[in-house]
A and B are shown apart, each in its own frame.
Chain A
Amino acid sequence: MIKRTLMAAAVAAALAAPGTASAVTDTEMKELREQVQQMKREYEQRIEALEQRLQQAEGRTQKAENAAAAAAGVAAKAEARSASAESAAVQANNHPSSEGAFNPAVSVILNGVYNNLSEDPARFRITGFAPTGGDVAPGKRGFSLGESELALAANVDQNFRGTLIATLQPDDRIGVEEATMQTLGLSHGLTLKAGRFFSSVGYLNEVHAHAWDFTDAPLANKAFLGGQLADDGVQLRWLAPTDSYFELGAEAGRGRSFPGSNRDKNGAGAANLFARLGGDIGTGAAWRLGLSNLRTTAQNRSYTDSNSLGIQVDNSFNGASRLWALDGVLKWAPNGNATETNLKLQGEYFRRNEDGNLTYDTAAVSAAGTRTGTLRSAQSGWYAQGVYQFMPMWRVGYRYDRLNSGSVNLGLVDSGTLSAADLPIYSRYNPTRNTLMFDYSPSEFSRLRLQFADDKSRLDASDKQVFLQYIMSLGAHGAHNF
C-alpha cells in the first residue's frame, strides 16, 4: 500500500513539475509523459508480481490451515509473523555503514607478575638437558610485566581466515607469536593452515600461555620444546568421518627453533605427524588422547656452558632429533555443567632421541680447542596435573614434573679427548618440580593467580618460587580449544 501511495505522489510530482516550468516544449512534455507512463507501468507490474507472491504465500498458509481445526486465525498469525520477521531484519540492519565495519576482531591480553625466587633466574638451567635458547627461565625477581599479547583475527574471504598474534615483551621487543592463514571448511574434514603457528606436538604446546593453568610451562615442555614451539610452515589436518573424534595431521616447517635450528637449506627442517582420539564418558566427562612425532634436523644448534676450568665455551650440535609426545586430557563436571565445579586432569610424556655430532668450543677459547665427536642420547620427561574448580570463580591446582636425563653418549668423553666435567650440562640428573596453584577468576576475562613451586631443575640448587600473577583479556571474546 505504502509503495502505491509513494508512486502516486511521485507521479503527481512528476506531472506537476512541467506545469511550473512553462518553458518546456510540447515534445518534451510528451517525452516526459511517456517516461512517467512507463515508470507507472513498471511499478504496476512490480506490484502485481508482489501481490501474486503474497497470494501464493497466503495460499500456502491456507493449505497448512486445512490440517488445523481452527482455520481462520492462522493466516493472520502468519502475517504477524512475517511482519515481525521483517522487523527482525530491520533490527539487524540498523548499523550505520562505515569503513571500519570490516575491521578484524581485536583482543589484548595483559599479563603481569610478581616473582619471589630463592635462586637467581639468570642462572636457570635444566641439568642433564641441552639448553634450548627459549624463554624457559622464570622471569626477573620482583615485579615484572609479563608478555602482553595483541591479537587480530577475521575471515579474509569465503575461503580463508587470518590471525595475527603479536607479543610485546617486557623488554620492549615485539614478536610474532602466531601469524596464520587457515581454510574455512575445506570439506571432507580437511583444514589447511600456513604461517607461523604453535606446533601440534603434545597438548599444552598449542595452548596460548594466557590460557595455561599454571604460570609457567612444564619442565618437559621447557626441556624438549624450548618452552613452546612455534614454527614457520604448513599444517594439514584431517578429521575422520567417524562418530567419535579421530584426527590425523601433518606439519612441515623450517625448524627455526629448538629442537631444530635455522639452517641454510631448501625443504623442510622439521616434520611433525600427530593423531588424536577423543570422546565423552557419559554427559559429565570428555577426554582426548594424542600422539605426535616431531623430527627435526639441527644445524649448528648452539649453547653456552662452562668447562671443567670454569671457562665459558660455545658448543653446537649437528644432527637429527626425534621427539615422541603422548598426551592426555580429561575434563569432568557434574552433568557436564562446568559453571559451579569442574575438574581437569592433564598429562604428557615426552621421549627424545638425538643422533649427530657435538662440536666443543666452536670459538676455540679453551686449551683443548675446537673438537667434534658423536652424540647419541635418549631422554624423557613427563608431567601430570590436576586443576579443580571447587566453587564458582575459585580453582586450585597441583602439578608434578619429572625429567629423566637418560642415556647420553658423548664421543669426546668416551674417547678421552674431554672429561665429563667439560660438558657439565650433560651431567646425569633427574630434575623434578612440585607446583601448587590457586586462582580466582571474577569473570571469564580476568584471572588472578598465586603459585608456589619447589623447582629442582638445577643439580646444585632447589629454587623456591612464588608467583603472583594477573591475566586480563580485553576486546573480542576468545574461544579456547578443548
Chain B
Amino acid sequence: MKKIIVTLMAGLLWLLAQPASAALKVLACEPEWGALVQELAGDKASVTSATTALQDAHHIEARPSLIARARNADLVVCTGSELEIGWLPLLLRQSGNERIQPGQPGYLEASQLVPRLEIPKALDRALGDIHPEGNPHIQLDPHNIAKVAQVLGDRLVQLDPANAKAYQTRTAAFLARWDAAIKRWEAEAAPLKGLTMVVYHQNMSYLNAWLGMRAVGSLEPKPGVPPTAAHLAELVGRMQAAPAKVIVYVAYNNPQAAEFLSERTKIPAVMLPFTVGGSDRAQDLFGLFDDTLARLLAVAK
C-alpha cells in the first residue's frame, strides 16, 4: 500500500513538473471562433474547438475530454448568450482553472460584443427554447466577425504580451483582408437582396439582416422543437400559397424535413455550412462566406 502511494505521489509530482507548452492554449466553443483565433494567432496558439460543424452546439455534454481541455486552457472563446448553457458553465466550474472564469481575461463571449437581434419580449418556455439575451447565432454576419476579431486580437495581446507584435500584425492583416472580402461579398450578394427563405432553426437571422433577406417560416414549430408532421403540413400549405425562394438547413440538421417540404412545394432546399468545417469549401472563415453565398446564389438565379 505504501509503495503504491509513493508511486502515485511521484507520478503526481512528475505531472505537475511538466513544463507548460509555450503556445497559448485556446478552447473555442464553436469552430468559427476556433478559426478566428487561428487567423489572429497563427502558430502562437494551439486551438481546439469543443464542437464540430456537424454538432448542434445547443446539445453538447460536458464530456471528460472537454473538462481536461478547459483545465489547461489560457483562453476560452464562446458564443455566449446561453447558447452553451447546457455544458459551458459545468466545464468552467469543473475545470479548477481560475484563468477562464467569467470576468477574467481568459473568458470571451463573442455575442456580448455585437448588437443582438431578436431579444425576446416575453420569456416563456412555452415559446420554445428561447434565449433571453437574444439570438446567439451571430457568426453569419461578417461585420460581427470583424468586431469580435478586434477584441480578440487585444485579448491575445493581453494574455501573451511576449507575442504582442505578432498578434497585432496578424489582426491588422486579417481585418484588412476581411474588410476587402466583405466588400466583395456584398457586391456578389446583391442579387440576394429581398430573398425569402424557410429556415430550419432561427439561426439565419444575422445573415438575413446583413444581406437584406427574410425568413418567412421555419421547419421547427418553435425554436429548439424538432419538426412535426402537423407543422410541416401547415408549412406545405403556406408555401404552396406564397412560396419562399429557398429552404435552408445547416450541416448538422437532419435533411429529411427540408427535403419533404422541397418535394411537395418544388422550392429548392439548400444545405449551408453554417460554420467552419460545415462543407468542403468552408475550411476557414473566408471559405465559410464564399461557400454560403455561392450556395444561395446558385438557387436565387
37-69 of chain B: CB within 8 A of chain A: 51-52, 54-56, 59-65, 67-69
Chain A residue numbers with a CB within 8 Å of B159 are: none
Binds A, one of B95-103, B190-198, B211-219: B95-103
Per a CB cutoff under 8 Å, which of A63, A243, A245, A336 touches B54?
A336
Per a CB cutoff under 8 Å, which of A81, A238, A245 touches B68?
A245
Residue B240 CB within 8 A of the other chain: no
Q: How far is the CA of A242 from the CA of B70 in the complex (A)?
A: 11
85-133 of chain B: CB within 8 A of chain A: 85-90, 92-101, 103, 112-116, 119, 125, 129
Residue B180 CB within 8 A of the other chain: yes
Q: How far is the CA of A246 from the CA of B68 in the complex (A)?
A: 8
Residue B270 CB within 8 A of the other chain: no
Residue B179 CB within 8 A of the other chain: yes
Binds A, one of B170-178, B260-268, B283-291: B170-178
A29 CB to nearest chain B CB (Å): 48
Query: Is B92 in contact with A185, judged by CB distance below 8 angstroms?
Result: yes
Q: How far is the CA of A241 from the CA of B16 in the complex (A)?
A: 7
A193 CB to nearest chain B CB (Å): 10
User: Beta-carbon contacts of A228-245 to B below 8 Å, as 1s and 0s?
Assistant: 000000000111111111
Chain A residue numbers with a CB within 8 Å of B69 are: 243
Per a CB cutoff under 8 Å, which of A277, A288, A393 touches B226?
A393
Query: Is B65 in contact with A286, judged by CB distance below 8 angstroms?
Result: yes
Per a CB cutoff under 8 Å, which of B68, B119, B225 touches A443?
B225
The total of Cβ contacts below 8 Å across the A-B interface reads: 185
Residue B252 CB within 8 A of the other chain: yes
Binds A, one of B142-150, B231-239, B241-249, B292-300: B142-150
Per a CB cutoff under 8 Å, which of A191, A280, A335, A445 touches B125?
A445
Residue B71 CB within 8 A of the other chain: yes
Residue A85 CB within 8 A of the other chain: yes
Chain B residue numbers with a CB within 8 Å of A69 are: 176, 180
Residue A279 CB within 8 A of the other chain: yes
383-411 of chain A: CB within 8 A of chain B: 392-393
Residue A188 CB within 8 A of the other chain: yes
Question: Which A residue sits closest to B61, measured CB to CB?
Answer: A482
Binds B, one of A128-136, A218-226, A337-345: A337-345
Residue A267 CB within 8 A of the other chain: no
Query: Is B147 in contact with A279, judged by CB distance below 8 angstroms?
Result: no
Chain A residue numbers with a CB within 8 Å of B56 are: 337, 339
Among the interface residues B52, B86, B179, B180, which one has the most CB atoms of the partner chain A within 10 A?
A: B179
Residue A21 CB within 8 A of the other chain: no
A71 CB to nearest chain B CB (Å): 9
Q: How far is the CA of A189 from the CA of B125 in the complex (A)?
A: 36
User: Beta-carbon contacts of A43-69 to B below 8 Å, as 1s and 0s?
Assistant: 000000000000000000001110111
Query: Is A286 in contact with B54, judged by CB distance below 8 angstroms?
Result: no
Q: How far is the CA of A63 from the CA of B172 in the complex (A)?
A: 8
Query: Is A88 in contact with B116, judged by CB distance below 8 angstroms?
Result: yes
Known: A184-B101, A186-B98, A242-B15. A481 touches B90 (CB 8 A): yes
Chain B residue numbers with a CB within 8 Å of A187 are: 96-99
A134 CB to nearest chain B CB (Å): 27
Question: Which B residue sits closest to A87, measured CB to CB?
Answer: B115
Per a CB cutoff under 8 Å, which of A70, A88, A288 touches B179?
A70
Chain B residue numbers with a CB within 8 Å of A331 are: 61, 63
Residue A35 CB within 8 A of the other chain: no
Residue A118 CB within 8 A of the other chain: no
Q: How far is the CA of A242 from the CA of B17 in the complex (A)?
A: 11
Query: Is A74 in contact with B179, judged by CB distance below 8 angstroms?
Result: yes
Known: A64-B176, A189-B71, A241-B71. A91 touches B65 (CB 8 A): no
Query: Is A241 in contact with B63, judged by CB distance below 8 angstroms?
Result: no
Residue B254 CB within 8 A of the other chain: yes
334-374 of chain A: CB within 8 A of chain B: 335-340
Per a CB cutoff under 8 Å, which of B18, B64, B96, B113 touches A88?
B113
Chain B residue numbers with a CB within 8 Å of A237 are: 96
Q: How far is the CA of A189 from the CA of B69 in the complex (A)?
A: 11
Residue B183 CB within 8 A of the other chain: yes
A421 CB to nearest chain B CB (Å): 40
Query: Is B180 in contact with A338, judged by CB distance below 8 angstroms?
Result: no
Question: Which A residue sits closest to B101, measured CB to CB?
Answer: A185
Q: How far is the CA of A392 from the CA of B254 in the complex (A)?
A: 10
Query: Is B252 in contact with A280, judged by CB distance below 8 angstroms?
Result: no
A-B contact pairs, 7 of them (CB 8 A): A68-B179, A185-B98, A238-B96, A244-B64, A278-B64, A335-B52, A482-B63
Interface of A toward B, CB cutoff 8 Å: 63-65, 67-70, 73-74, 77, 81, 84-85, 87-88, 91-92, 158, 161, 182, 184-191, 237-248, 276-280, 283, 286-288, 331, 335-340, 392-393, 442-445, 474, 477, 479-482
Q: A91-B116, A241-B16, A443-B224 given; name 6 further pairs at CB < 8 Å.
A: A69-B176, A69-B180, A186-B98, A188-B96, A288-B64, A336-B54
